[in-house]
């Protein structure tokens, strides 16, 4: 199909105003000159193309966002079989190991020197317990693997929620004092925007978009 047919024009002889006597079939073209009509068609085509790109971009963003909340990664293997319940029985609080939970956006993992306060000498008979001193001999930190991650467009501060809002860790992470196995999968997959918004409304906290979306 030629250009004139694509634009709704005829190339048969006898039509006024177009090369070779081409004849316009569009009523709009009849009221415009050749170049004005072609310019109008060009602008219309560009507009349709941009709208198509916008629709595709919106669809892709929705699909990626939905995927980020529904995707369930495989469990990781942590370097030590850490038992939260056993440590809780020794009156060790969350913030004793997760030192930055009250003054930083991130709770952070415990440093090796923190573990060595109790494990400089052998404790108990768990096969993983000596590994702590092995890491110390090698002068390496324990390579804990982070599994709790929020989407990149969400800002969350542990300090704001733990210190100022006085939230208990189990409200998001579950009852860690009863957990005997290390954390190998995300504990926050159940949290979505509605959950956070409901909590903010219940506690009388701002629901302005920029509070969480920086």
The 10s digit of each residue's pLDDT in 22-70 is 444 555 555 556 667 677 777 778 777 777 877 777 666 655 555 444 5
Q: Residue 106, by phi and psi: left (phi above 0), alpha (psi -120 to 50) or beta?
A: beta
* Percentage of the chain exceeding pLDDT 90: 62
User: What is the rounded distance in angstroms from the CA atom of residue 123 to the CA atom of residue 54?
Assistant: 61
pTM here is 0.63
pLDDT confidence of residue 47: 78
pLDDT at site 46: 74
Tokens of 14: 């006898």
> In the prediction, which pLDDT does 10 show?
45
| pLDDT tens digits, one per residue of 162-172 | 999 999 999 99
159, 149 in Cβ contact below 8 A?
A: no
Let me know if 95 is exposed, middle or buried by CB neighbors in 10 A (0-12, 13-18, 19+). middle
Of 36 and 19, more confident = 36
What is the share, in percent, of the chain residues with pLDDT greater than 70? 76
The pLDDT value recorded for residue 21 is 45
Q: Which residue has the higher pLDDT, 145 or 45?
A: 145
Residue 208 confidence (pLDDT): 94
């Amino acid at each position: 199909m030629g250009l004139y047919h694509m634009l709704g024009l005829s190339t048969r002889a006898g039509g006024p105003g177009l090369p070779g006597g081409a004849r316009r079939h569009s009523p709009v073209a009849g009221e415009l000159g050749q170049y004005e009509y072609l310019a109008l068609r060009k602008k219309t085509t560009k507009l349709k193309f941009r709208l198509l790109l916008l629709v595709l971009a919106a669809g892709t963003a929705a699909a990626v966002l939905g995927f980020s909340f529904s995707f369930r990664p495989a469990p990781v293997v942590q370097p030590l079989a850490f038992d939260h319940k056993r440590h809780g029985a020794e009156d060790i609080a969350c913030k004793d190991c997760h030192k930055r939970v009250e003054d930083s956006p991130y709770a952070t993992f415990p440093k090796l020197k923190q573990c060595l306060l109790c494990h400089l000498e052998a404790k108990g008979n768990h096969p993983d317990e000596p590994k702590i001193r092995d890491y110390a001999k090698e002068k390496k930190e324990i390579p804990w693997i982070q599994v709790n991650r929020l989407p990149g467009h969400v800002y969350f501060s542990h300090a704001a929620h733990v210190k100022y809002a006085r939230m208990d860790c189990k409200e998001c992470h579950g009852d860690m004092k009863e957990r005997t196995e290390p954390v190998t999968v995300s504990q926050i997959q159940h949290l979505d925007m509605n959950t956070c918004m409901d909590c903010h409304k219940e506690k009388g906290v701002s629901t302005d978009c920029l509070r969480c979306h920086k």
